[in-house]
Structure 1
């Protein structure tokens, strides 16, 4: 049998050289733009104050809303710290629960307490996500305009 020689240009060095040249051109354009039109720095950030109107992504919104319900002080510690610890413990419980639950029974009808706790947790997260979404906003419902406060309570 005869060996057929493949036609075309080899990847190395021909194609790779073209890609490297294109990458250097793009990097040069970005660096030139950054030098000619630099983006100025803003004031120093305060890590303890949240800017007005900012909300986290939907999957963290329930935790953000839960923090609003903690008072300024919870015993000797601050309310924000207590809220963060509470959210962390909830997440830790969700992560560790499969390793703790060693019940051989897997029929949901025979695990009413665990299923109920799971449903309550889903409702809790869903409710706080909804409250976080509507808090500090204005909505028109059935022709009336309602303004929702920081905790999600409506006011006319």
Structure 2
């Protein structure tokens, strides 16, 4: 299985890059992992709804151009479905058994995802009704994917 994270913006903090590198290494025994970073747009202070939509649309175009046809797309969105770690593991496993060879997880920028990206998504996943920094969300998502593979393989994981 190939897992791809398509994310908006660069990671600047070393502690996030270290954590991402650690989970990338851990995941290498279970799947092929790619992380694609697309450029983010600067959001002016007190931006209007129109400007914010335009920014999300530009970022959305970059995201969509990074997704290969035939990929199963999971958009991280507050309005998505919340799953337990076990249920996420079951979902990833079922996709693999069903013949899906690539899952693309999409993490938007600070304003979220465009409507076109949300429409392209095969599934919308929420980790919480709270908002998290998109840099931290990469670490959380990678940890949960790693945990999913540990669960699938009957290996111990912290509950």
**Shorter-chain TM-score tier:** under 0.3
Structure of greater relative contact order (alpha carbons < 8 Å, 6+ residues apart): 2
Q: Which has the higher strand share?
A: 2
Q: TM-score, normalised by structure 2?
A: 0.21
Q: TM-score, normalised by structure 1?
A: 0.21
- Pair member with larger Rg: 1
